[in-house]
Amino acid sequence: MGYKLITGPATEPISTTEAKLHLKIETTDTTEDALLAILIKAAREICEEYTRRTLISQTWELQFDSFSESEYMLEKTPVSSITSVKYYDQSGMEQTVANTVYELNQATEPNKLILKSGQIWPSVRGHTNDCKIRFVAGYTAVPGALKAAMLLIIGHLYENREDVIVGRISNDMPKGSEYLMNPYRLFTW
């Protein structure tokens, strides 16, 4: 099983202006805008990796070999919709599973694609990544705690621009960001 990003986020949860206000940079000063864009993206990616959630609307594809389960955990929660479920049939032709066969269970975290009662998955040809679930994930409104965690991470990365700081006690990532992200962190087995 593997995830493939199909369409990345069109925007970031934190704007350059919000980052500048947090960092106490004049909003009219554009000299650091390129760096701030990189730091904002990095902070989102750190937050998404740590929490195992998707913050901003993105399209993902879960690929796997065969339909062997009645449900598939979608680790890019929250999932807003299933775009398609496709597979390669016995003759090697790509087919689409009718949306009447499955449903999205948003009551669990991570969200799951589940086989509806009385339905069965089709037979596949038996090659690697024969099955693909394409879905859209991301919050409609990013929780404030996650945005605050991102701001702390952005501040840390902005102030500490090297891996090792000579002449100072080294600093880990700010623990405050972890405290803010912990209630949203998902664990899967």
Cα dihedral 62, 63, 64, 69 in deg (nearest 10): 30
Contact 168, 143 (CB under 8 A): no
| Predicted local distance difference test score (pLDDT) of residue 163 | 72
For 176, half-sphere exposure in the C-beta direction (CA atoms, 13 angstrom radius) is: 13
Q: Is the pLDDT of residue 167 over 70?
A: no
Task: Please choose, from the candidates 87, 152, 92, the residue with its C-alpha nearest in 3D space to the C-alpha of residue 122.
Answer: 87
Q: What one-character-per-residue DSSP string does 51-88 give?
A: HTB--S-EEEEEEES----SEEEESSBSEEEEEEEEEE
Q: Is the pLDDT of residue 173 over 60?
A: no
- Strand, coil or helix: 26: coil
| Predicted local distance difference test score (pLDDT) of residue 165 | 61
Task: Please choose, from the candidates 117, 112, 118, 116, the residue with its C-alpha nearest in 3D space to the C-alpha of residue 133.
Answer: 112
What mean pLDDT do residues 15-40 have?
Answer: 96
Q: What is the mean pLDDT of the chain?
A: 92
- What percentage of the chain carries pLDDT values higher than 70? 93
Cα dihedral 107, 112, 116, 119 in deg (nearest 10): -170
What mean pLDDT do residues 3-31 have?
Answer: 96
Please state, in angstroms and rounded to a whole number, the distance separating the CA atoms of residues 61 and 76.
Answer: 10
Please state, in angstroms and rounded to a whole number, the distance separating the CA atoms of residues 18 and 36.
Answer: 10
Q: CA triplet 13, 60, 94: central angle to 5 degrees?
A: 160
